[in-house]
Structure 1
Amino acid sequence: MSPPISTADRHAALRAALTDIAEHRIAEGGLAALKARDLAKEAGCSLGAIYLHFPDLDALVFAVQARTLDLLDAAVSAAAGEGAAPAPRILALSLAYLDWAAANRPRWAALFEHRLAADAEVPPDYRAQRARLFRHVEAPLTALLPQATPAEREAMARSIFAAVHGIVSLGLDEKLETTPLPALRAQLAAVVLALARGLAAPG
């Protein structure tokens, strides 16, 4: 006879199941697909049971978003090219970001669509995890900007990310015009290489 399952194990299993279901729903239909009643029905639990494991739906969303950031980080890490020159390395990182976003649009969009109440705060662990993505850009910036301080490189990495994300977001959302992915990749490459050349220029 199998030993009885402890209450802690049951709670852990339900928490994991709720996170798995929420992740699948967001991956398929974005944040709009995440409804508490539908989630409880699929998990086979009461509506109140959700809030025994997560204080609110925001906390559940952050649990899913943490998984999304892990996947995005893995994709970008694979493209980092440790031995590559700085400019091609930043370009490879940027194109990897675009390709992952294009292949995972609902869950990528959810990273930026999630809005908290004015008095709510982003969990510190999630904020730190999100910030770690910038380390990929900071590494090649060390070679491009050898005289810059760590704080200056961090600020520049965030600026480069903002530029890349803006191009990716406008292109994938087709807010200005319809842009096929190959054309969007070419646009992104032109901008990123121009930025890198500008940073590398003396003076």
Structure 2
Amino acid sequence: MIAGRGLSGLKTRDLAREIGCANGAVYNLVEDMDELILRVGSRTLLRLDQALSTAEGAGEPSPQETLVRIAITYCDFAAENLQLWRALFEHRMEAGKLVPDWSAADQMQLFRHIYVPLATLFPKRGADELGITARSLFSAVHGMVALGLEQKLVAVPLPALREEIAGLVRAMIDGLIARAERSHAAAAP
């Protein structure tokens, strides 16, 4: 239902009818709609994780190009699974309710796809700094994907979006490498 209609199209009455149970019986399977949406999100993230893992192993093994492949794969996954991908970011928990640990872990473990190539590129950086850089790189790519796939004035044709994302990732990595080299040169005796 989410894949076809988005979050706004998810209704327990329709879901119950689809799976052949009473409306209230849906809540024998999940605690509430938040859990249902998070469970669907978890399955979506697993599929994204598989796509990113495939991208890591394909093509040139350099960490820079691995990051480019990961970014483009993220874009392609979002384009091919638009409603499910949007649901990952549009869903808001009920006021005062925290995201369960299992769901947060599902989300955070995907950063390893970015973290590992960055750790190879910047072996002198600490884990916290690498984590911030990984999240920053993701944020830049995610922003381009989110705006680029909008079906409004700012939409970008997918082939052009893929090229722009590749260029952004390469530019960011080149800039980070140059900054690290300047810092290293300044610190040398």
Alignment partner of 1:66 is 2:42:
yes
What does 1:18-167 correspond to in 2, within 5 Å? 25-81=1-57, 84-167=61-144
* Cα RMSD for the two superposed structures: 1.4
Measure how far apart 1:118 and its partner are: 2.2
In 2, the alpha carbon distance for the partners of 1:51 and 1:103 equals 30
Q: Which residue of 1 aligns with 2:186?
A: none
Runs of 5+ consecutive residues of structure 1 not aligned to the other structure: 1-24
Seq. identity, %: 45
- Structure 1 stretches of at least 4 aligned residues deviating more than 3 Å after TM superposition: none
Work out the CA distance in 1 between the residues paired with 2:81 and 2:62: 28
TM-score calculated relative to the size of structure 1: 0.84
Q: 1 CA distance for matches of 2:30 and 2:155?
A: 40
2:176 & 2:153 partners in 1: Cα distance? 28
Structure-2 residue corresponding to 1:14: none
Confirm or deny: 8 A CA contact 1:144 1:199 kept in the other structure: no
8 A contact 2:147–2:155 mirrored in 1: no
Between the aligned partners of 1:73 and 1:144, the Cα distance in structure 2 is 22
Distance 2:167 2:153 in 1: 18
Structure 1 Cα separation of the partners of residues 152 and 137 of structure 2: 21
Could you tell me how far 1:32 is from its partner in structure 2? Answer: 1.4
TM-score (norm 2): 0.90
Distance 2:144 2:12 in 1: 34
Write the letter of the residue equivalent to 1:88: E
Name the CA distance, whole Å, in 1 between partners of 2:171 and 2:151. 23
In 1, Cα distance between the equivalents of 2:155 and 2:39? 33
> Could you tell me how far 1:154 is from its partner in structure 2?
1.1
| Gap runs ≥5 in structure 2 | 184-189
